[in-house]
C-alpha cells in the first residue's frame, strides 16, 4: 500500500501539486476541511481558511457593519496532531507533545467563559507554491519525493517517511493559514469600522490573533534543514503574507496606507533562529529578533537583524529585564524606520519553551512564572504595535517528567486567550 501511495505522490509532484491526500489545501477546496477519522473531538469546529479572501480595499455592506460594531477579540487556534507519525523507538524528539498540549489548551478554553471569538481548526497542508516562496524548488521536490540523502536526513534529525511528509506540510500550512486568517480578519474589521464611522472599537480592531500548536521550525534554510526543521513555517507564512497583501501607500495620508509593509519575527526559543536570520538577510520587509543562549549553538551562527545572547544558566531577572529593554528599544527605534506609520504591520512570535529550567536541551534556567511573564511582555508589545499576532510553538524537550514542559507550552496559548479575554470583557 505504501508503494501505491508513493507512486501517486511522485505523480502529483510531477504535476506541480503536493496536496494529494484527503485534505483541503490552505486556500482551496470547498471551504471546509474534510473531517478525518483522527479528529479527536466532535465539538471542535473545523474550518479551512476563507475561500472568499478579503483583499485590501474590499468593503462590506452597511447592514453587515451595523451587526458587528462590538468587535470581540479574535483568536483562531490551528493544530496538526491529526497527522500522526510513528517515531523510531527511543527517538529523542517528543512527537506526542503536540496532541497533549492541544488537548490541555482545548480543555481549558472549553471550560472558560468565552469573552472572545475563538475556535480550533485542523492545520491544512501547505502547497508547493507557498513553500517555494521561501525554499529552493529542487530541495522541496527531493524532500517530498523521498530523494534526500542519508546525511541530509541525519542533519534534520528525522527519518524520511510519508507520515512525516504530511506532518511537515501541515506544520507549515497551519502557520500560513493562521497568518492569513489573522490578517484577513483584521482587514474585515478595519473595513467594517470605516463604514460604521465609529471610533469606539478602533482600539481593538488589531486584536486579531491566531496560533499554531506546532511550527516554529526556525532552523530550516533555503535548501537544507537541520535541528528537526525541514521548512521554515514562519518564513513561508511571512512571504505568503507579503505576496498576498502587498503594501499600498497613501502619500496624502500615511495612516490610510493598506497592506503589509513590514513584519517582525520575535524568536524566544533557547536556540538562535538561524534559519530565519539567513532567509531574511538583507530583506528590510522582514525583521528578525532572536533572544537565545550564548552557549547553545549546534551549527554556524547566523546574523539576525537583532541578536541578543544570554549566558548559560541565566534566570528570570536577567532574562525578563533584557527582553523588556530590547522590546522597548525596538518600539522606540524600530530598525532605523523613519516612516510616519506604526513600524510593523504583522508580528510572529516563536514561543519556544526550551528556556525552561527543566528542559532537557536548553541551558537557561527560567521558571514557569518567568515564561508566563515573558509571554505577557510579547503580548503587550504586539498590542502597543497595534499589529495582528501569530504564535507558534517552538522547542520544548522534556526530561523523564513531561509535566513542566507540557505546562509551559500550553501556558503560551492559554495566556494568550486570557490576555485577549481581558479586552473582550470590556465589550460585553
Q: Cell match 502529483: residue?
A: 12
111-138 exposure pattern, b = at least 16 Cβ within 10 A, e = fewer: eeeebbebebbbbbbbbbebbbbbbeee
Distance CA(422)–CA(282), nearest Å, equals 38
CA distances to 101, 348, 417 from 414, in Å: 10, 17, 5
* DSSP for residue 50: P
Q: Is 75 helix (H, G, I), strand (E, B) or coil?
A: strand
| Sign of the CA dihedral with 268 first, then 269, 270, and 271 last | negative
| Sign of the CA dihedral with 24 first, then 26, 28, and 31 last | positive
Distance CA(276)–CA(225), nearest Å, equals 12
Distance CA(94)–CA(365), nearest Å, equals 20
DSSP 283-338: -TTEEEEEEEETT--SS-----SEEEEE-TT--HHHHHHHHHHHHHHHHHS-TT--
The sheet with strand 306-310 has its strands ordered as 117-122, 74-79, 208-212, 389-392, 346-350, 263-267, 286-293, 306-310
Distance CA(227)–CA(215), nearest Å, equals 13
Distance CA(160)–CA(348), nearest Å, equals 28
Q: Residue 108's closest CA among 374, 421, 375? A: 421
Crossing angle of helices 368-385 and 403-424, in 10° steps, is: 30
Measured torsion, CA atoms of residues 296, 299, 303, 309, in degrees rounded to the nearest 10: 10
Would you call 55 a catalytic residue per the annotation?
Answer: no
Cell readout for 177 is 493559514
Identify whether the C-beta of residue 218 lies closer than 8 Å to the C-beta of residue 304. no
| Sign of the CA dihedral with 351 first, then 357, 358, and 361 last | positive
User: Which secondary-structure segment (H or E) carries 140?
Assistant: helix 137-145
Catalytic residue among 135, 164, 206, 219: 219
Catalytic residue numbers, as ranges = 219
Amino acid at each position: 500500500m505504501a508503494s501505491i501511495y508513493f507512486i501517486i505522490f511522485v505523480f502529483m509532484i510531477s504535476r506541480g501539486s503536493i496536496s494529494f491526500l484527503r485534505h483541503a489545501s490552505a486556500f482551496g477546496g470547498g471551504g471546509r476541511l474534510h473531517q478525518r477519522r483522527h479528529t479527536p473531538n466532535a465539538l471542535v469546529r473545523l474550518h479551512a481558511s476563507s475561500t472568499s479572501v478579503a483583499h485590501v480595499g474590499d468593503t462590506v455592506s452597511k447592514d453587515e457593519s451595523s451587526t458587528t460594531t462590538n468587535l470581540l477579540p479574535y483568536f483562531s487556534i490551528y493544530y496538526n496532531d491529526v497527522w500522526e507519525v510513528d517515531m523510531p523507538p527511543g527517538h529523542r524528539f517528543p512527537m506526542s507533545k503536540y496532541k497533549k498540549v492541544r488537548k490541555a489548551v482545548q480543555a481549558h478554553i472549553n471550560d472558560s467563559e468565552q469573552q472572545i471569538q475563538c475556535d480550533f481548526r485542523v492545520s491544512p497542508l501547505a502547497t508547493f507554491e507557498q513553500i517555494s516562496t521561501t525554499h529552493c524548488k529542487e530541495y522541496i521536490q527531493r524532500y517530498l519525493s523521498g530523494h534526500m540523502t542519508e546525511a541530509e536526513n541525519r542533519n534534520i534529525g528525522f527519518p524520511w517517511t510519508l507520515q512525516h511528509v504530511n506532518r511537515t506540510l501541515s506544520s507549515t500550512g497551519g502557520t500560513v493559514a493562521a497568518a492569513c486568517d489573522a490578517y484577513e480578519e483584521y482587514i474585515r474589521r478595519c473595513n467594517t469600522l470605516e463604514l460604521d464611522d465609529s471610533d469606539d472599537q478602533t482600539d481593538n480592531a488589531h486584536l486579531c490573533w491566531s496560533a499554531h500548536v506546532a511550527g516554529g521550525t526556525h532552523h530550516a534554510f533555503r535548501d537544507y534543514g537541520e535541528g528537526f526543521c525541514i521548512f521554515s513555517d514562519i518564513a513561508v507564512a511571512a512571504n505568503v503574507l507579503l505576496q498576498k497583501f502587498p503594501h499600498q501607500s497613501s502619500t496624502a495620508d500615511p495612516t490610510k496606507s493598506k497592506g503589509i509593509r513590514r513584519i517582525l519575527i520575535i524568536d524566544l526559543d533557547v536556540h538562535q533562529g538561524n534559519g530565519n536570520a539567513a532567509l531574511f538577510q538583507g530583506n528590510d520587509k522582514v525583521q528578525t529578533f532572536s533572544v537565545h543562549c550564548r552557549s547553545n549553538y549546534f551549527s554556524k551562527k547566523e546574523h539576525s537583524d537583532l541578536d541578543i545572547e544570554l549566558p548559560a544558566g541565566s534566570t528570570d531577572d536577567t532574562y525578563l529585564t533584557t527582553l523588556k529593554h530590547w522590546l522597548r528599544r525596538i518600539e522606540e527605534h524600530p530598525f532605523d524606520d523613519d516612516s510616519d506609520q506604526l513600524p510593523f504591520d504583522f508580528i510572529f512570535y516563536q514561543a519556544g519553551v526550551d528556556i525552561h529550567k527543566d528542559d532537557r536541551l536548553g541551558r537557561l534556567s527560567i521558571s514557569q512564572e518567568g515564561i508566563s511573564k515573558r509571554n505577557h511582555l510579547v503580548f503587550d508589545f504586539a498590542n502597543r504595535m497595534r499589529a495582528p499576532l501569530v504564535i507558534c510553538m517552538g522547542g520544548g524537550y522534556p526530561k523523564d517528567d513531561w509535566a513542566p514542559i507540557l505546562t509551559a507550552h500550553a501556558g503560551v496559548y492559554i495566556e494568550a486567550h486570557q490576555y485577549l479575554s481581558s479586552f473582550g470583557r470590556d465589550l460585553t
